[in-house]
Amino acid sequence: MRILFVPTYTSGIVRGEVDAASDAVGYGITAAAVLVEQLAVLGHAVDTIDIASRDRQRWYAECLETIASRLGSGRYDVILCFHSFWPFASEVRRIVDDCGRSVPIVAYNHGSHWDPTDAFRQERYPALRWADLGNLLAVDAVLLVSDYMRATLLREVGDASAEAAEQLAARLWVVGLPIDTDLLDACLTEKEQAPTVVFNHSFSEGKRPAAFLDVAEEVLERRPARIVITRGAPVNSPLRGRLSLLAKRFGSRVTIGETLTIPDYFRALWGSHVQVSTATHESLGIATLEAMYARNCCLLPDLGAYPEVVGPVREALYDPKEESLADRIVGALEDPEGRVAVADRLAERAGRYRPDVVARDVEKVLRSVCLGP
């Protein structure tokens, strides 16, 4: 197949850049890159839209202009958009229609206004709920990262429109997201001597970083452990002050890695023993999957896609309403054999998201839309 790949906006940071730092790590960087690589390994010709601009608005315009130009000068069997929202999949559909082409469009969806827990989209783009749905209905197939997202979309859309939900159901395919196992393997390092807890989420509201800082302080008071926070708080966030106070109080036992390169970020995951999430929203959890692969004993709230990700390894889940997360972390730090056993089982689960596994599932969807009904 000849595939036109449309990446999502990532502030201009790309995998392999020397200044790609842990404050910019996410599915749009490593997962997108390895998916493209694996599709090429499977024998497909992948033409990637490459926009250098770091300005968001300019990126949108240049991306759409480049898509129109490529469609005018080349022939493709399918367009694969890495996110239905950046740029709008409906805009890609309009370009295809205006060009008079019959190229099918497949788009990933990584989060949605139709997930009630997705505070980011509802707060930053409150008027785009129906536009979000329009993007999903403008493509031939929607790739989802989890069964949780499929069930959530169909339930919420169905409450608003049975007809829309029926149309959407026929287009949804759960394929997951690939983790960059080659780069993770290349960064393999020994576990730290001191028991180490890592928090590798963004400082967005849905990840509840303030709740983790509360727990981190208690854990550091109770155990001679280390805490690694792989990303920094935004400049205007009051949490920057809390991070500074935590680092000042506990010194070298606290690492705030907002300037870690991606390889250093992966080495930090390999070096840690326990990964923690305090999220209230999770459509998959690429950061957790990377920590699982790096043999961490993960402690995750029993919500969103987390139960699906850990599967039978229920020991990794906690009830945020009923259980003390600090107690769970301390318990894992005091039980080396137990945490290693959980970490090993989680690492095995992470294998379900290897690039070759996910790429084959994506390939099945692309072939399906190319062949037609």
Q: Which amino acid is at 21?
A: A
* CATH code reported for the domain at 181-352: 3.40.50.2000
Please state, in angstroms and as integers, the Cα–Cα distance from residue 33 to each residue in 15, 199, 201, 327, 344, following that order.
Answer: 7, 24, 20, 38, 27
For residue 31, give every residue at least 6 positions away whose Cβ sits within 8 Å of its Cβ, in sequence order, or none.
177, 178, 179, 180, 286
Phi/psi at 335 (5° precision): -125, 75
> Which strands, in side-by-side order, build the sheet including 254-256?
254-256, 226-229, 196-199, 274-276, 297-301, 317-318
Query: Is 2-178+354-371's fold the same as 181-352's?
Result: yes
Architecture of domain 2-178+354-371: 3-Layer(aba) Sandwich (3.40)
pLDDT at 189: 97
Sites in the chain below the pLDDT cut of 50: 18
Taking the alpha carbons at both ends of the chain, their separation in whole angstroms is 18
pLDDT at 25: 58
Please state, in angstroms and as integers, the Cα–Cα distance from residue 110 to each residue in 124, 164, 312, following that order.
Answer: 16, 19, 24
Question: How many angstroms from the chain centroid is the CA of residue 177?
Answer: 8
pLDDT at 4: 98
- CA 291/CA 273 separation, integer angstroms: 9
pLDDT at 30: 80
Angle between helices 336-350 and 325-333 (to 10 degrees): 100
Tokens of 75: 């022939």
pLDDT at 150: 98
What pTM was estimated for this model as a whole?
0.94
pLDDT at 23: 53
pLDDT at 202: 85
For residue 24, give every residue at least 6 positions away whose Cβ sits within 8 Å of its Cβ, in sequence order, or none.
10, 11, 13
Query: Where do the structural domains in the chain lie, given as residue ranges?
Result: 2-178+354-371, 181-352
